Chains A and B, each alone.
Chain A
Amino acid sequence: MSTFWHLLVWSCVVWYGTVTLLVAVRGWKDIVAMLRRLRDGEE
């Protein structure tokens, strides 16, 4: 069981690090697009 948790800890570090970078870039684009759509909808 110890090996399972060891692997899971490193999987978390790698997955979380990758997702943080991805979301930092693509999430920002999502915000800009969302606010643009809301502004266009108002106009």
Chain B
Amino acid sequence: MSHFHPWIDGSIVGLYLLGTMIAGVWVRRYVSKVEHFLVAGREMNLYLGIASLAATEFGIITCMYAAEAGYTKGFAGATPGICQALAMLVIGLTGFCVKPLRASGAMTLPELFEKRFGNRVRWLAGVVIVLGGLLNMGVFLKIGGDFLCAVCGWDPGYLVPVMGGLLLLVAIYTILGGMLSVLVTDFLQFVIMSTGLLLVTLLILHHIGWDRLEEAVRANHGEGGFNPLANPQMGWSYLAFQILGNGAATLTWQTTISRLLSARDAVTGQKIYVRTSFFFVCRWLVPVLWGVAALVLLGPAKEGEPTLMAMPQFLATFLPIGLMGLMVAAMLAADMSTDSSYMLGWGSVIYNDILAPFRKGKWPEARAIRWNRFIVALIGIYLFVFGLLYEIQGDVWSYLLLSGSVYLSSMSVLLIACCYWKRANSWGAFGAILGGALVPILFLSFEKMASTAAWANDFGKDNAGIAAFAAAATGMIVGSLIKPKKSDSVAS
């Protein structure tokens, strides 16, 4: 029986939603140019950047898959967070790729690629980014709805109207205010989300205590619950894929780099990366701790029981009235900031890069903003339809990383080659895009077909992800080397 109180907790949630909507809709008056809509006029400063990046990269789905990792793998489940934090710290300190990217003045990655590889590569890169991103984002809504229904004790029949209503609210302020609304609401959402996450974590540490948490992990997972290399579900291939995937995400994930591109300058962008880096440890370890707490109080899952739902079931009966409302508001804040940034992030690529060949000359600002709003609305409709239909096979994080690697692999190879390899050219770019996209798409298709599902399961998502990076890098090197140089062509 959930402790969610309709009046007390419901009022806290209602107040949060009202505040967010007022703030989000109010700043629309500052949007007069397409640059305001997509990158907030490049006026974002350091602390707002930290709030926005942190809020965007933590959604209900993040909390669910990280808590599932804690429940099924113990503390070792937080390994991806450490990989991403290290990647972000190193990239922020060195400016690797992100410095030339911000200095180029581009609004999206494909816009930078056009300068080196031509307009066809820009268009194709845009398609791959949107395909990978939307496939990834498509599962957010259903998992968020499952969480809310479990925590609040609602009938699963409420999932569609509740998540549909939430999506509508997010769509309204994102469509009206673009990146400006996203930044302002992200700030509010960061404060509420962080307060809720910290209070629940402190309550767990106080009521359950470290000794019981450690004991449960040791009893259920042994040394593998603390050391990823000793865990039979993880090992070297898991670690290698996490390092590759999280490094590539830090360099190329549209919602992450859009914070860099919205920053006032390259130095501010790098500072945002450095100072947000440790958040990525918290982003994983806090929900992992919640998952371990679920293991203490609920025990291990029985055969066929969904491990994803253990953490929300635990929270439903663990949190007292009042804190329950704050936690639900925190999770809604986390989800709304993620949804709005993702809608705008992929929308900006569709407008800026995929539609680029169809725009004759520069569009008037009002028309450009109207199109961007239309695209964001279409993404909202897609999310609503696809998000409630698709069923994930296996654990959620591996699915997200694999579907994301449709573009992470090829785009990271393209970006590194674009910035640092003089021989890189358009043939290499096409080769990298083809190689990087083909492997994850084939793997996801094999996983869905009855005749090949067993083979796909044996091969594993981690190996498929590593293979995608290897295919992208091979495509870039081979393609670039076999394309005749201009001087050779002229001579021949």
When the two chains form their complex, are residues A29 and B47 in contact, meaning their CB atoms are under 8 A apart? yes
Expressed in whole angstroms, the Cα–Cα distance for A4 and B225 within the complex equals: 12
Which of A19, A27, A38 lies in contact with B187, CB distance below 8 A? A27
Interface size on B, residues (CB 8 A): 44
Residue ID in chain B nearest A22 by CB atoms? B47
Scan A1-14; emit 1 where CB is below 8 A from any B CB, else 0. 11011101101110
When the two chains form their complex, are residues B214 and A35 in contact, meaning their CB atoms are under 8 A apart? no
When the two chains form their complex, are residues B198 and A20 in contact, meaning their CB atoms are under 8 A apart? yes
Chain B residues proximal to chain A, CB less than 8 Å: 27, 30, 32, 36, 40-41, 43-51, 75, 78, 180, 183-184, 187, 190-191, 194-195, 197-198, 201-202, 205, 210, 214, 218, 223, 226-227, 275, 278-279, 281-282, 285-286, 289
When the two chains form their complex, are residues A12 and B285 in contact, meaning their CB atoms are under 8 A apart? yes
Expressed in whole angstroms, the Cα–Cα distance for A23 and B198 within the complex equals: 15
When the two chains form their complex, are residues A27 and B227 in contact, meaning their CB atoms are under 8 A apart? no
Set of chain B residues within 8 Å of A8, measured between Cβ atoms = 78, 281, 285
Interface size on A, residues (CB 8 A): 32
Set of chain B residues within 8 Å of A38, measured between Cβ atoms = 30, 36, 41, 43, 180
When the two chains form their complex, are residues B279 and A16 in contact, meaning their CB atoms are under 8 A apart? yes
- Given contacts A2-B214, A30-B46, A34-B41, list 14 more A-B pairs with CB under 8 A: A5-B78, A8-B285, A9-B210, A12-B285, A12-B286, A20-B191, A23-B50, A23-B187, A26-B46, A27-B48, A27-B191, A29-B47, A30-B47, A33-B45
When the two chains form their complex, are residues B184 and A31 in contact, meaning their CB atoms are under 8 A apart? yes
Which of B48, B201, B202 lies in contact with A30, CB distance below 8 A? B48
Do most interface residues of chain A lie in helix, strand or loop, or is the interface mixed? helix
When the two chains form their complex, are residues B214 and A6 in contact, meaning their CB atoms are under 8 A apart? yes
Known: A2-B214, A30-B46. A16 touches B198 (CB 8 A): yes
- Closest CB of chain A to B337's CB: distance in Å? 13
Known: A23-B51, A33-B45, A38-B36. A12 touches B30 (CB 8 A): no
Set of chain B residues within 8 Å of A17, measured between Cβ atoms = 198
Set of chain B residues within 8 Å of A30, measured between Cβ atoms = 44-49
When the two chains form their complex, are residues A15 and B282 in contact, meaning their CB atoms are under 8 A apart? yes
Set of chain B residues within 8 Å of A6, measured between Cβ atoms = 210, 214
When the two chains form their complex, are residues A23 and B44 in contact, meaning their CB atoms are under 8 A apart? no
Known: A23-B191, A27-B187, A42-B32. A34 touches B282 (CB 8 A): no
